[in-house]
Copies of this chain bind each other. A is one copy, B any other.
Amino acid sequence: MAQVRFAISTTFRQVTSKISLGKQQTIHSEGLLSNCRPLKTLSKAKHTQVSSRIDLNENSQKNSPNLGLVFGATVLCSGVVLYNWNRQAKCKPSAIQDVSGGQVVTRDGITAGKLGDDIPKLPPGPIKEYSKAEVAKHNTVKDGIWVTYKGNVYDVTQFVEQHPGGDKIMLAAGGALEPFWSLYAVHNSEEVKEILQEMHIGSLKYDMNEDVIDIDDPFARDPQRHPALMINSLKPFNAEPPPELVVDSYITPNELFFVRNHLPVPVVDPKTFRLEIEFSSGKTKKFSLDDLKKFKEHTITASLQCAGNRRSEMSKYKPVKGLSWNFTAISNARWTGVLLRDVLQSAGVTLTNDEIKHVQFEGLDKDPTGAPYGASIAIEKALGPFGDVLLAYKMNGEELPGDHGFPLRVIVPGVVGARNVKWLSKIILSDIESQSHWQQNDYKGFSPSVDWDSVDFKKSVAVQDYPCQSAICQPKNGSEVHRSEETVVVKGYSWSGGGRDTIRVDVSGDGGKTWKVATLQKEHQTPYRAWAWSLWEVELPIPADGKKMEIICKSVDDSYNVQPDSVQGIWNLRGLLNNSWHHIAVDVKEE
């Protein structure tokens, strides 16, 4: 069996390296992308969920007919809970009303179609039940590493070292495999399921309390999120993907895209949703989603980055105020929508109108006083032929997820995340910038010597285009390499705002004494409109001596802008725009 596994591992490695070259087609199950808003979408999600369940019944009937009904019922409950990890809390399992003859009928009577065959066959014998809490305790080699899949519990402790995807399997330790397998299509094979089946140890108990909602909590209707996200704040929700997953795909899967919410996620009915545009005359015009979709549809690939990305490193130099983002508050997606320029020009707005200097945006997310989230950009960005500002209703081919602005978000490519207003409800053409807190008293840079006593937000310029940035995602800071391996593969990302493409990433394995140029993985972008990041990879020699290997990366954009050497000169009291050289250190072990 070990030999068979080795053969599979080799195949996996090939696939994995293909992924890192950007060929991966990630599979998004309906359950992952639905946020459980329209009932129609919900019913589709249910199909996938229940499909597994019924299939299990069928399998169990074939393999272990005596256990079929009991086992099937158990998995019915736990499978729904697990597979619903990404849906909104208001979606109850009770929505499923009838199951018969391999077809699912949901509450609204829609028949959800023929069911598939996609979970491992189980060995015969009595089934032990475990609660999610019990499983969660098994997340280290010492305590054993357990995972769950479609209502079953598996002990994968012995398998971890053989996992072709390396220690990424540990992201699921103590929890569900589904969210991760949905990202990596390679798991969708009989061989993988056979391997998993051998490690089966029991099934999950269903906990009725998991779906209870606190109606006084403004965040109660927030979407559920992918368990791999590293959370900086729960309410409002702010989280970033694990670095090792970031460099896995040029296009960040929606469920791993970093989330930066300032307020609770609004729940919006797309049927009644209207975008209001207020012109400089004071007149307004409202657009339904269908009205907007009459304009020519465009898809652009653009990275978004939080202005606070890498704040935690800046804090180490001197404390700052703000969420303690690590270095992956950045992601890359394909956004589909209509050009703001087209919509504004259809209403007669041109660059020659001197009264309009700024385009203000308001979201449907509101603070306790009722004030909406707001931001603005220059009219030149909105109307210029190379601005590519998009009113986006799709993200990576799917409806916008709740955390990313459903049903409409303005994508201002090349500009800091904070101006890419989510749940966009209003556009105001004005001679002044947005007067919101976030435009006036936040997201501005300051000299390193400005402190909270001397700061004057009015005197500083709002952040728009992002400066050039890069970071090392692999290996992990503090991890080990073996000197006998001679080289180490280093991977990361690089991005610059303002439509400036990355032209070079230099990586050093000796603390900056020498540099090697990384290979860039990027798509072709036209000058002045390079909105998407580059992923990069380089193989560095492990130094002949010393117990530590200090790895540094720094990038250059096509304006030959570079990253500053250190935090010293860019430190600012809000901890914004830390784009200093990224340093990590790994321990070099002898054999």
A interface residues with partner B (beta carbon < 8 Å): 351, 378, 380-381, 384-386, 445, 447-450, 460-461, 463-468, 497-498, 500, 503-504, 506, 512, 514-517, 526-529, 554, 556, 558-566, 568-570, 577, 581
Which chain B residue lies CB-closest to A507?
B447
Q: Is A560 a contact partner of B581 (Cβ separation < 8 A)?
A: no
* Chain B residues within 8 Å of A498, by CB: 498, 500, 559
The CA of A213 and the CA of B29, in the complex, are separated in Å by: 83
The CA of A448 and the CA of B514, in the complex, are separated in Å by: 7
Q: Within the complex, which residue of B351, B448, B565 is in contact with A566, where a contact is CB–CB below 8 Å?
A: B565
Q: Is B384 a contact partner of A506 (Cβ separation < 8 A)?
A: no
The CA of A564 and the CA of B560, in the complex, are separated in Å by: 11
* Chain B residues within 8 Å of A461, by CB: 503-504, 558
- Tally of this chain's copies: 2
Which chain B residue lies CB-closest to A580?
B565
Supposing A380-B526, A464-B558, A465-B560 touch, asked if A351 and B385 sit within 8 A by C-beta, the answer is yes
The CA of A508 and the CA of B563, in the complex, are separated in Å by: 20
Supposing A384-B385, A384-B528 touch, asked if A467 and B506 sit within 8 A by C-beta, the answer is no
The CA of A561 and the CA of B469, in the complex, are separated in Å by: 10
Q: Is A569 a contact partner of B562 (Cβ separation < 8 A)?
A: yes
Given contacts A380-B527, A564-B564, 15 further A-B contacts (CB under 8 A): A378-B528, A384-B384, A445-B504, A448-B506, A449-B506, A464-B559, A467-B559, A467-B561, A467-B562, A468-B561, A498-B559, A506-B569, A512-B568, A562-B570, A565-B565
Q: Within the complex, which residue of B465, B467, B568 is in contact with A565, where a contact is CB–CB below 8 Å?
A: B568
Supposing A565-B568, A569-B565, A577-B560 touch, asked if A515 and B467 sit within 8 A by C-beta, the answer is no
* Chain B residues within 8 Å of A468, by CB: 561
The CA of A351 and the CA of B581, in the complex, are separated in Å by: 37
The CA of A302 and the CA of B502, in the complex, are separated in Å by: 26
Shortest distance between the CB of A529 and any CB in chain B (Å)? 8
* Chain B residues within 8 Å of A447, by CB: 504, 506, 515-517
Which chain B residue lies CB-closest to A379?
B527
Shortest distance between the CB of A296 and any CB in chain B (Å)? 15
Q: Is A556 a contact partner of B497 (Cβ separation < 8 A)?
A: no
Q: Is B465 a contact partner of A512 (Cβ separation < 8 A)?
A: no
Q: List 15 A-B contacts (CB under 8 A).
A: A378-B527, A380-B529, A447-B504, A447-B506, A447-B517, A461-B504, A464-B559, A465-B500, A465-B558, A467-B560, A468-B561, A498-B500, A560-B577, A565-B569, A569-B581
The CA of A514 and the CA of B565, in the complex, are separated in Å by: 17
Shortest distance between the CB of A439 and any CB in chain B (Å)? 15
The CA of A589 and the CA of B568, in the complex, are separated in Å by: 29
Closest 4 pairs (CB-CB, A-B) = A465-B559, A565-B565, A378-B527, A467-B561
The CA of A445 and the CA of B504, in the complex, are separated in Å by: 10
* Chain B residues within 8 Å of A450, by CB: 517
Supposing A506-B447, A516-B449, A569-B581 touch, asked if A560 and B463 sit within 8 A by C-beta, the answer is yes
Shortest distance between the CB of A528 and any CB in chain B (Å)? 5
* Chain B residues within 8 Å of A577, by CB: 560
Shortest distance between the CB of A552 and any CB in chain B (Å)? 9
* Chain B residues within 8 Å of A464, by CB: 558-559
Which chain B residue lies CB-closest to A463?
B560
Q: Is B561 a contact partner of A528 (Cβ separation < 8 A)?
A: no
Which chain B residue lies CB-closest to A508?
B449
Which chain B residue lies CB-closest to A414?
B559
The CA of A512 and the CA of B465, in the complex, are separated in Å by: 26
The CA of A465 and the CA of B527, in the complex, are separated in Å by: 11
* Chain B residues within 8 Å of A466, by CB: 559-560
Which chain B residue lies CB-closest to A526?
B380
* Chain B residues within 8 Å of A517, by CB: 447, 450
Shortest distance between the CB of A404 and any CB in chain B (Å)? 24
Shortest distance between the CB of A307 and any CB in chain B (Å)? 9
The CA of A504 and the CA of B446, in the complex, are separated in Å by: 9
* Chain B residues within 8 Å of A506, by CB: 447-449, 569
The CA of A460 and the CA of B556, in the complex, are separated in Å by: 11
* Chain B residues within 8 Å of A386, by CB: 380, 384
* Chain B residues within 8 Å of A449, by CB: 506, 514-516
The CA of A569 and the CA of B498, in the complex, are separated in Å by: 23
Shortest distance between the CB of A105 and any CB in chain B (Å)? 53
Shortest distance between the CB of A502 and any CB in chain B (Å)? 10
Shortest distance between the CB of A86 and any CB in chain B (Å)? 35
Which chain B residue lies CB-closest to A518?
B447
The CA of A466 and the CA of B560, in the complex, are separated in Å by: 7
Shortest distance between the CB of A332 and any CB in chain B (Å)? 19
Supposing A563-B564, A565-B569 touch, asked if A380 and B556 sit within 8 A by C-beta, the answer is no
The CA of A286 and the CA of B460, in the complex, are separated in Å by: 49
* Chain B residues within 8 Å of A570, by CB: 562
Q: Is A380 a contact partner of B528 (Cβ separation < 8 A)?
A: yes
Shortest distance between the CB of A537 and any CB in chain B (Å)? 16
The CA of A498 and the CA of B581, in the complex, are separated in Å by: 23
The CA of A442 and the CA of B92, in the complex, are separated in Å by: 66
The CA of A475 and the CA of B512, in the complex, are separated in Å by: 33
Q: Is A515 a contact partner of B448 (Cβ separation < 8 A)?
A: yes
Which chain B residue lies CB-closest to A514?
B449
Shortest distance between the CB of A588 and any CB in chain B (Å)? 21
* Chain B residues within 8 Å of A497, by CB: 559
Shortest distance between the CB of A576 and any CB in chain B (Å)? 8
Shortest distance between the CB of A257 and any CB in chain B (Å)? 23
